[in-house]
Amino acid sequence: MSRLAQTAGLTDVQREILSTVRDFVDKEIIPVATELEHRDEYPQAIVDGLKELGLFGLMIPEEYGGLGESLLTYALCVEEIARGWMSVSGIINTHFIVAYMLKQHGTQEQKEHFLPRMALGEVRGAFSMSEPALGSDVSAITSKAVRDGDEYVLNGQKMWLTNGGTSTLVAVLTRSDEGHPEGTAPHKSMTTFLVEKEPGFGEVRPGLTIPGKIDKMGYKGVDTTELIMDGLRIPANRVLGGDTGRGFYQMMDGVEVGRVNVAARGCGVAQRAFELGVSYAQQRHTFGKPIAQHQAIQFKLAEMATKVEAAHAMMVNAARKKDSGERNDLEAGMAKYLASEYCKEVVEDAFRIHGGYGFSKEYEIERLYREAPMLLIGEGTAEIQKMIIGRRLLEEYRFQG
Ligand SMILES: Cc1cc2nc3c(=O)[nH]c(=O)nc-3n(C[C@H](O)[C@H](O)[C@H](O)COP(=O)(O)OP(=O)(O)OC[C@H]3O[C@@H](n4cnc5c(N)ncnc54)[C@H](O)[C@@H]3O)c2cc1C
């Protein structure tokens, strides 16, 4: 166990789960991550291992076959996994968001239909809000669902689906005008559809095409795709929660827990960068001594470790707040913002400590350097987090004069 990023007050069960996951990361993920990432290869053996550990059902209630664990347990597992390879945490993240949305907002029939198979990792979730012309401004969504008897007909193009190819259940957010006349506020005329499909690329269901993988600078191995709906027919009982017009709120609820998750990923990647930096600094000699003995490098290590600790503490605080049943959008926004910015900075410092070797694909830090920027974007950019934080602060500190 490392000295940094410890969490006080965990139960024996939480400690046992974390120790099992850490062991799995050290033995099964870290040794193969960089090679698979360079080949942009889907880590099937790792995913099978995670299924066996029950990680796909970690937060799904026990009555549906999951482990019924808290958001904190989940976030700490994500931190460990991202320490090994961030792409693997991406594979379980969208699954977790869809399972959470079903648990919170699904009808009884929807929960019984999907959650037991999601807990086993047989049904795998992805979620889709973004479109080619929008990401931050979700209210501008143009893809549309129109009622036709007992079905809805969906048309439109979606962008940036993490696990778009490998998933078999996509929560898709579209505009739906039924019952919401022209002029209804955009966020009140959106609906989440539970879209089942075959895994893979091409036409994966009549009217639904997943064109192929987007070629990315990092975060490889996990597939990120577009999704095209052209007359896609979805039965009315696959509207999440049964009622149209609730989709925006359901997705925002999902993204809120997703933010804790992205913060946890930032913590994990930063920890790994620190481990690589502190190890290299003691092996590389310049001017007659290990570079760790130069004060400038020690200062870097000190700053990196302080950032790792601070980000971890904020992430744990945000998760615990949600677990206690309280609103946590302020804490989740702050944790996501700070952890992703610190992650980028810690990775850059570790990269600099490596000198020229950091630029070589033989060194793990090169991969982390390409992965960290994704955390600045996913689940809302830094600017969007600051907008959320700022608005909430003005609510809390309303001028009384
Ligand atoms: C690898 C990857 C995986 C992803 N996975 C998913 C997924 O699974 N599902 C999904 O739905 N989406 C996913 N996304 C999309 C992601 O959520 C969006 O990229 C993100 O929300 C930003 O949207 P955008 O790219 O359209 O940028 P834009 O919204 O166009 O923003 C561009 C820039 O303008 C800034 N900006 C925007 N509005 C404001 C404002 N009001 N004030 C100040 N600055 C502003 C932004 O911060 C940013 O710097 C993924 C993206 C990536 C890169």
Of the residues 379, 383, 395, 396, only one is catalytic, namely: 379
What is the pLDDT at residue 400?
87
Is 96 a pocket residue for ligand 1 (Cβ < 6 Å)? no
If you measure from the C-alpha of residue 89 to the centroid of ligand 1, how many angstroms do you get, rounded to a whole number? Answer: 19
Query: Could you tell me which residue, 400 or 71, shows the higher pLDDT?
Result: 71
Per-residue pLDDT, 179: 66
Is pLDDT at 1 greater than 70 in this prediction?
no
Half-sphere exposure of 80 (CA within 13 A, CB side): 26
Mean pLDDT of 360-373: 98
Residue that is written with structure tokens 């913002």 in the block: 337
Please name the residue ranges forming H helices in 69-177: 71-84, 86-105, 108-119
Tokens of 164: 């778009």
As a whole number, mean pLDDT of residues 43-72 equals 96
Closest CA to 265 of 219, 304, 221: 219
Q: What is the dihedral of CA 265, 163, 331, 325, to 10 degrees?
A: -120
Closest C-alpha to ligand 1, atom 27: 135
Mind listing the pLDDT tens digit for each residue in 281-327?
A: 999 999 999 999 999 999 999 999 999 999 999 999 999 999 999 98
pLDDT tens per residue, range 225-283: 999 999 999 999 999 999 999 999 999 999 989 999 999 999 999 999 999 999 999 99
Q: Is there an atom of ligand 1 within 6 Å of 298 CB?
A: no
Q: Does ligand 1 lie within 6 Å of residue 56's CB atom?
A: no
Distance 197 CA to ligand 1 centre (A): 25
pLDDT tens-digit readout, 127-167: 999 999 999 999 999 999 999 999 999 999 999 999 999 99
**CA nearest ligand 1 atom 36, residue:** 383
The CB of 110 under 6 Å from ligand 1? The reply is no
44 C-beta neighbours (distance < 10 Å), count: 10
Is 161's C-beta closer than 6 angstroms to any atom of ligand 1?
A: yes
The pLDDT-based confidence of 63 (bands split at 50, 70, 90) is: very high
Q: Which of 37, 92, 101, 160 to mutate to test the pocket of ligand 1 (most atoms within 8 A of CB)?
A: 160
Q: Mutation test of ligand 1: which of 381, 384, 386, 387 has the most ligand atoms closer than 8 Å to its C-beta?
A: 381
Which of 173, 46, 162, 47 shows the shortest CA–CA distance to 94? 162
Q: Are 170 and 161 in contact (CB under 8 A)?
A: yes
Residue 225 in contact with ligand 1 by CB distance below 6 A: no
Please indicate whether residue 162, judged by its CB atom, sits closer than 6 Å to ligand 1. Answer: yes
Cα–Cα distance measured from residue 397 to residue 383, given in angstroms and rounded to the nearest whole number: 21
373 Cα: distance to centroid of ligand 1 (angstroms): 12
Q: How much is the pLDDT for 186?
A: 78
Return the beta strands (E) in 101-257 as ranges: 125-128, 144-148, 151-162, 169-176, 190-196, 202-205, 208-210, 224-235
Confidence band, pLDDT 50/70/90 cuts, at residue 185: confident
Cα-flanking dihedrals φ and ψ of residue 175, to 5°? -80, 145
| 214 touches ligand 1 (CB under 6 Å) | no
pLDDT for 177: 77
Contact 97, 47 (CB under 8 A): no
Ligand 1 atom having least distance to the Cα of 383: 47
169-176/202-205 β-pairing: unpaired
In this predicted structure, what is the pLDDT of residue 184?
79
Give 177: exposed, middle or buried? Use CB within 10 Å, 0-12, 13-18, 19+: middle
Active-site residue flag, 379: yes
Q: What is the pTM of this model?
A: 0.96
